[in-house]
Amino acid sequence: MGKQKKARKFAVMKRMISLRDERLKEKDRAKAPVKKKEDPSAIKEREVPQHPSCLFFQYNTQLGPPYHILVDTNFINFSIKAKLDLVQSMMDCLYAKCIPCITDCVMGEIEKLGQKYRVALRIAKDPRFERLPCMHKGTYADDCLVQRVTQHKCYIVATVDKELKRRIRKIPGVPIMYISRHSAGCSKELGVYTEVEVRLLLGRDWS
């Protein structure tokens, strides 16, 4: 009895279609462009952001009374917990007139929190607050505040959020206001001293 012929497997019989085949479309006939290898010794071009003219090293010349302060959601909530008058505590911290500013994103974030934060919403709708319209898409407040202080260096950011404070510290010339020990404080970029430091300076003998 002779040997039975075995059928060849499909994988062995598979063949590539020629580029000249009529079944191929024009876009499929074109060969893929070969990527050129990057030369490691070549100088790479990159765009460096222009240094803002309002900064003298780390000192921001655009900051001055009346101070415009961008308020975050958690700053309002912490001021309620600490039983602080928001505007008065800002003025006590900076010893000057302060204009709290609230963006549409922050207002939308407070409205989404519901009835539990109705006191914060009432404070945010205070006529002393300046409302800033947002032209971008989405309602993520942190990105909104970072984008605004990057474009305009005339604001102080009032927040207690650690992640937002970390992002703002990377932007030169933007002070951060926070709440600590039932009072408002400000970072040293603005040259603001606490009440204890002022008393020590005033009581010091300068002669």
Domains of the chain, each with CATH number or no CATH: 65-199 (3.40.50.1010)
| Closest to 186 (Cα-Cα) out of 93, 100, 116, 118 | 93
DSSP string, 145-167: HHHHHHH-TTEEEE---HHHHHH
Q: How confident is the model at residue 103 (pLDDT cuts 50, 70, 90)?
A: very high
User: Across the chain, what does the average pLDDT equal?
Assistant: 81
pLDDT of residue 186: 83
pLDDT, tens digit, 9 for 90 and up, residues 131-167: 999 888 777 889 999 999 998 889 999 999 999 999 9
Average the pLDDT over each of 86-100, 119-133, 152-166, 184-198 and give the range with the smallest value.
184-198
Percent of the chain's residues with pLDDT above 70: 77
